[in-house]
């Protein structure tokens, strides 16, 4: 069994890391303090909008996976999807990350 950081500590670390690197990260939706699912929405200038979340694999490990990608022109649809996810799963955390090469901040 893998040890897991409480969600609020992991989220705080991601937000601080991005902000310390000169980007901007904010929490769009606060979830369950200790065990909530964490979603990371990434964006940077004219790049595509991407959503990452941890998904279980066949070995029982949880790996970060890109679960959605939209062009910048569909930013409204992407934001609507994030709102919908937050409403459907009140335990999940949603972090919005705006920085170049945002994937480097995904643990």
Q: What is the pLDDT along the chain (107 residues), one digit of tens a residue?
A: 457 789 999 999 999 999 999 999 999 999 999 988 999 999 887 789 999 998 878 887 888 999 999 999 999 999 999 999 999 999 999 999 999 999 898 87
Cβ neighbors of 80 (< 8 A, separation 6 or more) are none
> Which tokens is 14 given?
């991601």
Of 23, 25, 2, 8, the residue nearest 93 (C-alpha): 8
CB atoms closer than 10 angstroms to residue 42: 25
What is the pTM for the complete model shown? Answer: 0.89
Cβ neighbors of 76 (< 8 A, separation 6 or more) are none
């Amino acid at each position: 069994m893998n040890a897991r950081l409480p969600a609020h500590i992991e989220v705080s670390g991601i937000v601080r890391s991005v902000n310390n690197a000169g980007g901007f990260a904010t929490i769009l939706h606060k979830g369950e303090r200790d065990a909530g699912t964490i979603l990371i929405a990434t964006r940077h200038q004219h790049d595509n909008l991407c959503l990452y979340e941890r998904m279980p694999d066949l070995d029982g490990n949880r790996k970060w996976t890109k679960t959605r990608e939209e062009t910048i022109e569909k930013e409204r649809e992407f934001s609507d999807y994030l709102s919908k996810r937050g409403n459907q799963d009140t335990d999940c955390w949603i972090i919005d990350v705006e920085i170049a090469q945002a994937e480097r901040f995904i643990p």
